[in-house]
Chain A
Amino acid sequence: MSRFTKVVVIGLDGLEPKIVDSMLQAGELPNLARLRDRGGYSRVATTTPAQTPVAWSTFATGVNPGGHGIYDFIRRDPKTYLPDLGLNRYEQKNAFLPPKAVNLRRGTPLWELLGAAGVPSAIIRCPCSYPPDAVKGGRMLSGMGVPDLRGGLGTSTFYTFDPAVQPQESESVVRLERRGDRVHAHLIGPRIPKTGADAKSDFTVEIRPAEGRALLRAEGSSDPLELRVGEWSKWLKVKFKLGLLQSVQGGVRFFVPRFEPDLELYASPINFAADAPMFPISNPWDYAGELTQRIGPFYTTGMVEDHGGLNNGRFDEAAYLSQCEQVMREREQMMRLELDRLEAGLCYVLFDTPDRVQHMFWRFGEPDHPANREHGTGSYGQVVRDHYRRCDLVVGEALARADDRTLVIVLSDHGFSSFQRGFHINSWLQQNGLLTLKPGTDPGEDAGEFFHNVDWSRTQAYALGIGSMYLNVKGREAQGTVDPADAPQLADRIVRGLTGVVDPERGKVAINGVATKADTYSGAFAAESPDLVVLFNAGYRASWTTALGGIPAGLFEDNVKKWSGDHIIDPTLVPGVLFMSTPFQGGAARLLDLAPTILSALGVPKGPAMEGESLLP
């Protein structure tokens, strides 16, 4: 018989060990302290790169990225050099079938091994679980990777009368129209497959100043939705007709920045309706619907927190935090529900929000952050620490539901750091003669994104994603120039060239090193990996435009966005944290060791491909 009947894993995305250490010391995280005292606490080595989807996939499968195939949020098609989402893709077997989502995370997740051994599991929102794994005797709600109704990770809509307002990042703008005492507008649904046009669903808003509220009436919905200034609305269920025979449902929430002098309205990305998703988001397929029945409608997209609305200045930090709190509560309700009915096996619940809070609030802890010049500093200096305390309450909830045969694990997938300066990797390649622009084009605006003006016949390497770099290899890339035999030499040249690059403005080393494919990845899907991964120093990251194949002028830029913290740097600088309710060998713990640890706790042998070892004594 195994030592434990249950394992409960609480994922706290992006919890940074340095902050945890200091708060533990100050006695501000009592539940984590209890856990540390009962069992132990250590750092846990993350993956290369230190990205959420990569790290949690290694957690799930117990293999390095070469064994599960997730390397970056963004991958590229070597035949077109175009970027695409690195987490999943859609395929259509023939014209008669709907497109199907295909998870790019491969390998064998530990819950599949549990299921095969007859051990049940409930997995809530593990990244790269879309479409959900079909696990026997398991429940799974998909997480990061689930799109909104538009098919992206989240496109919001801003409504205004002002004709000068232009759409910002990941956003549509719809002009409001006044007709009589009502304001008219529409929600933007998916593209209609046949015509490519946007499906729309009309709504009206009636402002009742005396009552301090407005009523939003949507097509096909009987009850009006109440709107109040400075508040998030309840969920509006919306249906879009895609044709005579097809329709799709979604859920949306509104935020009202103001009624006066003219109404402005923010609509969240339109989420799949959990009880009628466009593509499956749970296993069994009706599990998401069951959750809706029990806890009400909830956010279903992969990245739930409306960071776009904050980044674009459509609402302020307070509104963002209130939305984050809503997400935390939803997730807590799911956790309670599953812990209360878990009799044996594994329950995993990921709280993504600490990652999203730190991204947007990191600058308030750094007076010299360039973003503060643009956005000023408010009274948000304590937000990150407050949120850690909030996470500690979640841990308390989990501990309260754990008996002495329950192993409780709390971990983060990576730590957190500052993002003050962006580095243009493609521009560096261009300056070093490894990437050539078409004649008459210079780096900067006219080079554009998507490698628009790259002369591939004279290009040896290119970067896209958040630190990933590829060589332009003959036979693999469409217009490859690098003989595979020469690739290691070229890679070595780039490693030597980039390692130790100094930011002249700050006088600091920006790049600590570069990981090579050969040294970093092994396994069935290693061939798909980037050839090189740039390991940035704290404070630095691949620049915004690098991610989509941009080649700006210069090498460095200030990061002036509210998205001011990040973690996609040298992984040794951003380990995660690991707490367990039983003593463990924490000295050199790696995310790789978690799957073997959980399996061992439940008496199931680890998978043959798993590279780590159980941390249990």
Chain B
Amino acid sequence: MKILVIGLDCATPEILLGDERLVNLRRLMAGGAYGRLESIIPPITVPAWMCMATSQDPGSLGVYGFRNRTDHSYAGLGIVSARSIQELAIWDQIAREGKRSVIIGVPPSFPPRKVNGICVGCFLTPDTTTDAYTYPAAVKDEIAALVGEYEVDVKGFRTDRKAWLRDELFRMSRKLFTVVRHYLTSTEWDYFHFVDIGTDRVQHGFWKYHDPQHVLHEPGSPYAEVIRDYYRHLDEEIGRLLELLSDDTVVLVVSDHGAQRLDGGFCVNEWLVREGLLVLDQYPAQVTPFDQLSVNWGKTRVWSEGGYYARVFLNVRGREPEGVIAPEDYEAVRDDLKARLEATVGPDGRPLGTLVFKPQEVYQQVRNVAPDLIVHFGGLYWRSIGGVGYPGLHIQENDTGPDDCNHAQFGSFILAASNSPLQGEQTGARLLDIAPTLLELGGYDVPGSMQGRSLVSGRALEAPSGFTAAGEAIIRERLAGLGYIS
């Protein structure tokens, strides 16, 4: 069986599985299996797509987010690239049997991966007009001939220019689907995987218009339907893709995480300063990003990086250059900090419901330089703000530009294949289960190193249902009402 993975970054089950106007998706759901898909911790695009493709958790990949500490210095975070992931992805597994893949926009894929087939770079590509963002290189020219300038992202999507953003997102996505249709039909492939990043961007850009529960909701806005329109656009495009498939294809529509409203930002370093854990040489007169602060490392016990979630680091003697926490106190300090973070409150003084994770407890391995704690403020209804100089701990505006939504722990999946025994709504599916499931349905061996379990394992695979000759009753019914016969 061939495998087509339709990746919709951030596609959230409430809309993807809940909007009955998405008729093509509905049909896939009716003919296959679907449900919520529990993402990784943290539920972030990088590394989620590669966790899915490798069935390895972030700790095992040694990639904890889009930005990671590269060493134990205070030099801040490095940005991931395709090279950050060393584990074999599903396309690498099947390439060992000579099978060909087309991989388009699966993050991180810049520089483009050398695959047995075609790879087109993801949103990390700095500039598609100047950079070599495809493998093989000639694919770049083919794409240019197809769609002109090919965008991998809407630069500056955190903007107030909403009409512009909307138009750019639809335009970008249509180009992506044009390219997908082209390679779906013009190349030989056994595994085809693409990711529409616009689904993520449109939700970050328009959630407050969409969700009446959003604190900044504007009722009756002309942008109220932009998100749902985008999903309908996806449904139409997916309908067109389905026209191009043969029956011997496994189709998976999947997201790396969901989406939910953002209630505000929690100023994590501000909080650490107030708790006496982060010591500055001088408290700034105005809001200042963390990397521009003058930190007194010799007195600082804890610091954090902001983002959709917080990466919290302990300043450990012998590990960090000016570490102050004795290694033997590390666990006690971390436990205390975890409890204090879990007790953080919202502007109304009530607990935020913050979730705090120790990498060693949530990952099978912890490679490279992991955060000491991973924090989902208010279950990710709050993002974390890294800057200092705020009058309080809670802010409405975002430090990186307008953004109305955060990621939710549950994404979505729809799996349809003529040989799949799974039917109807499924519960308990996890992102790491995807690769083994696809390999099994595709007729490949599932490597023992994969951390998820196949959703179809142990269930009888049915032979593809072939054409059955229409019975006489059906024929009679089809001719029923034609007065000329009896």
- Chain A interface residues toward B at CB < 8 A: 73-74, 80, 82-85, 93-98, 147-148, 150-156, 169-170, 242-246, 269, 301, 303, 307-308, 311, 356, 359, 450, 466, 544-545, 547-548, 561, 563, 566, 568
Contact = CB atoms under 8 A, between A and B. Distances in A.
Contacts of B472: 82, 450
B242 A154 contact: no
B460 interface: no
Residue from A85, A150, A246, A359 with most neighbouring chain B CB atoms (10 Å): A246
B313 to A, nearest CB: 47
Contacts of A147: 478
Contacts of B26: 245-246
10 contacts: A84-B479, A94-B246, A96-B31, A96-B245, A97-B242, A154-B481, A155-B481, A303-B481, A307-B483, A466-B484
A85 B478 contact: yes
A566 B247 CA distance: 45
B482 A544 contact: no
A291 B481 CA distance: 25
A547 B483 contact: no
Given A94-B247, A95-B31, A547 B416 contact: no
B416 A96 contact: yes
B27 A98 contact: yes
Residue from B249, B464, B469, B475 with most neighbouring chain A CB atoms (10 Å): B475
A308 B475 contact: no
B477 interface: yes
Given A245-B26, A246-B30, A152 B478 contact: yes
B20 interface: yes
Contact of A152 (B242, B481, B483): B481
Given A307-B483, A308-B481, A450-B475, 10 more contacts: A83-B479, A95-B247, A95-B464, A96-B251, A97-B27, A150-B480, A152-B477, A245-B26, A245-B30, A548-B479
Nearest to A87: B482
Nearest to A83: B475
B485 A96 contact: no
Contacts of A83: 475, 479
Contacts of A94: 242, 245-247, 249
B446 to A, nearest CB: 24
Contact of B28 (A96, A308, A311): A96
Contacts of A269: 481
Contacts of A561: 486
Contacts of A246: 26-27, 30
A150 B477 CA distance: 7
Nearest to B241: A96
B39 interface: no
A93 B244 CA distance: 9
Given A95-B31, A246-B26, A547 B485 contact: yes
A401 to B, nearest CB: 32
B424 interface: yes
Contact of A153 (B30, B31, B469, B480): B480
Given A74-B485, A246-B30, A154 B480 contact: yes
A170 B251 contact: no
B46 interface: no
Contacts of A85: 478-479, 482
A94 B482 CA distance: 30
Contacts of A359: 483
B418 interface: yes
A244 B34 CA distance: 12
Contacts of A169: 486
Residue from A97, A303, A547 with most neighbouring chain B CB atoms (10 Å): A97
B281 interface: no
Contacts of B476: 548
B243 A152 contact: no
B29 interface: yes
Contacts of B30: 242-246
Contacts of A93: 243
A274 B249 CA distance: 35
Contacts of B464: 95
Interface in B425-478: 425, 464-465, 469-470, 472, 475-478
Contacts of A566: 484
A450 B481 CA distance: 18
Interface in B6-36: 20, 26-31
Contacts of B483: 303, 307-308, 311, 356, 359, 563
A568 B246 CA distance: 43
Nearest to A543: B486
Contacts of B418: 95
A332 B394 CA distance: 68
A93 B242 CA distance: 9
A73 B486 contact: no
A332 B321 CA distance: 90
Contacts of A466: 484-485
Contacts of B479: 74, 83-85, 152-153, 548
Residue from A95, A151, A269, A568 with most neighbouring chain B CB atoms (10 Å): A95
Given A96-B416, A97-B242, A152-B481, A84 B475 contact: yes
A145 B195 CA distance: 42
Q: A-B pairs with the 4 shortest C-beta distances?
A: A154-B481, A152-B480, A544-B486, A153-B481
A97 B27 CA distance: 7
A151 B28 contact: no
Nearest to B416: A96
Residue from B26, B475, B476, B484 with most neighbouring chain A CB atoms (10 Å): B484
A563 B484 CA distance: 8
A427 B91 CA distance: 64
Interface string B233-244: 000000000110
A245 B29 contact: yes
A245 B26 CA distance: 7
Nearest to B32: A96
Contacts of B478: 84-85, 147, 151-153
Residue from B245, B425, B465 with most neighbouring chain A CB atoms (10 Å): B245
Nearest to A168: B486
A73 B418 CA distance: 34
A545 B242 CA distance: 42
Nearest to A546: B485
A245 B480 CA distance: 28
Residue from A152, A154, A269, A568 with most neighbouring chain B CB atoms (10 Å): A152
A315 to B, nearest CB: 16
A576 to B, nearest CB: 18
Contacts of A545: 486
Contacts of A544: 485-486
Contacts of A243: 30
B62 to A, nearest CB: 37
Nearest to A548: B485
Nearest to B34: A245
B64 to A, nearest CB: 37
Residue from A98, A147, A563, A568 with most neighbouring chain B CB atoms (10 Å): A98
A502 to B, nearest CB: 24
Given A94-B249, A95-B247, A73 B242 contact: no
Nearest to A169: B486
Nearest to B20: A245
A155 B485 contact: no
B347 to A, nearest CB: 41
Contacts of A170: 480-482
